[in-house]
Every structure is written in C-alpha cells, then in structure tokens.
Amino acid sequence: MADVPGPVSDFIVGEIRRARGAGGMTQEAFGRGAGFSASHVSAVESGTRALTMDFIRGADRAFGNGGIFERLAVKLGTPSWFLPWLDAERGATQLRYFEPNLIPGLLQVEHYARVVLRSVDSLTDDEVEQRVKGRMSRQAILTGERPPQFVAVLDEAALRRTGDGIGGIMAQQVAHLIAMAELPHIHVHVIPLASGLHVGLSGPFALARSGGGVWVGHLENQLGGDVVDKDDEVATLQARWESVRNEALPRRQSIDLLKEVESHHGPQ
C-alpha cells in the first residue's frame, strides 16, 4: 500500500506513538486492534518500515477515534482521491503514463513540480511544499531495488512550453527526462507536433499492472481523479494507450528529440 510522504509520516508516527503511550497500550495490544503484528508496529515506530495508509487506518480502528489520523494524513500530505491510485502505483510491476500537457509526476524535477502545483491558486505555500515533497518521495519506486517497468508517452507540446522564468526549469526538466530515459527499465516516447490531432488530446491517463497481473487505470481531471478498475473501462484505456503509443516516436528517436528540445531551452 502507498507510503505516506516522509515529513508527514514522521509527524503522524510520533502522534500515534504518543496516543498509544497515553492509552497505556503495548505494541502488541495496539497491533491486535490495528491488524498488525507487534514487530510490524515496532518497525513503523522506529522508522525502519514505511508508514502506509493501511497502518494509519488500523491505528484509527485501534484507538476508535473516528478516523482522525487518516484525515490528518490527507490534510497534510495527499488528496484523498489520489490515495487509491498511490496504492496501485506503489505495488505495480508495470506502469504506463500518457500526458499531453505536462511531464508525468514520477518524472518531474522539484522546480518543475513546484511551478505546476503553484498554478493551483487554492493551495497555500505550505500545501504546495507538502505536495512537492510527496511527489518527490513517490519517485523512489523508479530507483529502488526492484523498480517497475515504466513507459511514458508525452506530447512534444508539453516539452516546448515556455514563459517567464520557465526556460531554465524546462532545460533542467528535459535533461532529467533524458537521464531517466537512458535507464533500462524506463522508456520515454514523444508524440511529435507533426502528428496533429490524436485521441490522447482528450486527456491524460495512467495504467498500473499489479504483481498478480491485474491492470487498473487512473483518470485525472480538474476536480480530482478516479481509479478505473472495471474490465470494460480498463480495456478502453488499454486501447487508448495503444493508439497514443503508436503515434509516438521509437525510444532512441524520442531521446534525440529530447536532446534537440533541451538545446532549444538553452543552458540550465
């Protein structure tokens, strides 16, 4: 299940530990109520095991507090609508991302992510920084011991976006894409502008394949997002994926295009 971003995790673990102590609960007794072994509880409290949303929900059950820790995690870290997708993303063996307008979150550099999140004017500066940290922490799945196969399809327009103060950021971002695309388990494909209109311009989507071979999808929109797990809807997204993938350049040609775009944006 999805890990909670580090700064949020440290705070919530400390609060859970204090609540357990105040309630006179041993790790074993707390674990029985939360649905985890005493050794698992000990590992989370000592920081040697990641805090997950499942553990947080278990803590709420053990304390019978009406879900206060889950609400705290959502408030401080990640929108509630995104949590189910984080679970799927974290456990995936294969990931497919299509983005017509932005760089996928798992491939964003910190400065680019901050600019994107600041475009949401309802977020405070603190909320932007928390989400930037959360986005950066998600990227650990791509560099772990057993990373998923990751394939991203981008529209060239997303790479050539310009504006006040964004040139250097885009140069840094494209350089990062090139470095990531050189890794054996990461494939970045670009749909050239010359392709014109294509089905992917209707919006971004993602697909995740679990270790058991089950695919789920994710759709994001202006109001939030939805996890797609019905067979017919997943099949539709798979068909859309094949369409946009076929519009894109092969891997090496895509990297060459990324290098050309990097030179266009100028020095970092």
**What would the pLDDT profile of 73-97 be if each residue is shown by its tens digit?**
766 665 555 666 777 888 899 999 9
Low-confidence residues of the chain: pLDDT under 70: 1-8, 74-84, 163-165, 167, 222-224, 266-268
pLDDT of residue 267: 56
Instruction: Name the 3-class secondary structure at 154.
Output: strand
pLDDT tens-digit series, residues 6-59: 556 778 888 899 999 988 999 999 999 999 999 999 998 988 887 887 899 999
pLDDT score for 62: 95
Say what the pLDDT of residue 126 is: 82
Whose CA is closest to 133, among 105, 152, 171, 159? 105
Name the 3-class secondary structure at 36.
coil
User: What is the pLDDT at residue 268?
Assistant: 46
User: Reading across the β-sheet that carries 149-155, which strands appear in turn?
Assistant: 186-191, 149-155, 92-99, 205-210, 215-221, 224-228
Q: What is residue 113's predicted lDDT score, i.e. its pLDDT?
A: 92
Distances (CA, A) of 250 to 108, 152, 185: 21, 12, 15
Residue among 41, 65, 72, 68 at smallest CA distance from 55: 41
Mind listing the domains of the chain with CATH numbers?
6-76 (1.10.260.40), 80-265 (3.30.870)
CA distance 191 to 155: 5
Q: Determine if the pTM surpasses 0.75.
A: no
